[in-house]
Structure 1
């Protein structure tokens, strides 16, 4: 799934990648409120019109950076990657880029249709990855764990809990769900 409004290839794909790279650099350099598609375009050495061809808003641009980071991270998971490793790698995306964490907390809440599309893609990808790491838990438990992960990321992005704590807390939650699921299963 491409983060941009239309599928691109060749030189256009290079332009999109330059814009995404420039957006990450811009996030590191300025506060989110000061960031704009124009400032990112300037940093990427493309015209604002070109940037707006691919990204409808700064929220869309930042959401696209997050989507790419999530895709890169989850594509590295294999059958031997356990839940704790998965969550740790996902949280490291944001722990390693605190400016991105703060920016995406705002960007992903935007009402831009392109942001909504990416927000749905990110949620689906996180749920898919977690499902692999959770094994035999029922779908309702997987949904709860996904919600807990997203909530943990938001709380960490806001500075309430360290990113390093999210993986440990999520594994504790899964252990509790597995114990509860096992108890219910034995009672029936």
Structure 2
């Protein structure tokens, strides 16, 4: 990934009071529920708002689109999941652990996994902002796992991850296959460097 720039937009477009944060929590939880029932194409902000018990206009004050809402769900899942503990693993094991963890983040929820793949490709400015934040967080985790200054290697792992998850999101590979393929690629690339 290229150098990531800050856009200065809050993830949910503004700072939240405790009550507003509760509303956003309800909306993100309801989004997962609606997605599992309706799929990505059938999910609307109106349906999510109804499931969360809030008005549609209220939902739109927090989320500009369903893509924004779904990307927020993924962002929250990512940041709520601490990076894997390095333990005694070498750099290869640490990179594999990071990529496997992020790959499997929504693997048990096929509707959400498909929706995240579609949502992250959106051109909504709020999605773009979150996509940058997600990319920064994954880059941070990979760089820490590599424990070396290797911008080219880091870029290769980011590209591998993005391509593999796109294949998972399109249904060409299961997320378990994505994680296994990423592991094989990392092992081959780092063995070639040794």
Give the corresponding residue for 2:6.
Answer: none
| Distance in 2 (alpha carbons) for counterparts of 1:85 and 1:180 | 19
Q: CA deviation at 1:120?
A: 0.9
Give the corresponding residue for 1:28.
Answer: 36
Give the corresponding residue for 1:14.
Answer: 22
The question of whether the paired residues in 1 share the 8 Å contact of 2:95 and 2:186 is answered with: no
Indicate which of 64, 73, 77 corresponds to 2:84: 77
1:128 aligns with 2:140: yes
Q: TM-score, normalised by structure 2?
A: 0.86
Q: Deviations over 1:76-130 (max 9, x none)?
A: 4334372333222222222111101111121111111000001111111111111
What's the RMSD between the two structures over aligned residues? 1.8
The question of whether the paired residues in 2 share the 8 Å contact of 1:84 and 1:168 is answered with: no
Give the corresponding residue for 2:4.
Answer: none
Q: CA deviation at 1:51?
A: 0.5
Return closer, same or farther for 1:76/1:172 CA change in 2, 3 Å cut-off: closer
Give the corresponding residue for 1:3.
Answer: 11
| Distance in 1 (alpha carbons) for counterparts of 2:178 and 2:143 | 17
| Distance in 1 (alpha carbons) for counterparts of 2:85 and 2:162 | 22
Gaps of 5+ in 2: 1-8
**Structure with more relative contact order (C-alpha pairs < 8 Å, separation 6 or more):** 2
Aligned length: 181
Q: How does 1:132-143 map to 2 (within 5 A)?
A: 132-136=144-148, 138-143=150-155
1:172 aligns with 2:184: yes
Q: How does 1:33-182 map to 2 (within 5 A)?
A: 33-73=41-81, 75-80=82-87, 82-136=94-148, 138-182=150-194
Partner-residue secondary structure (3-state), 1:94? coil
Q: CA deviation at 1:2?
A: 5.2
Return closer, same or farther for 1:36/1:108 CA change in 2, 3 Å cut-off: same
The question of whether the paired residues in 1 share the 8 Å contact of 2:96 and 2:186 is answered with: no
Q: TM-score, normalised by structure 1?
A: 0.88
| Distance in 2 (alpha carbons) for counterparts of 1:78 and 1:175 | 19
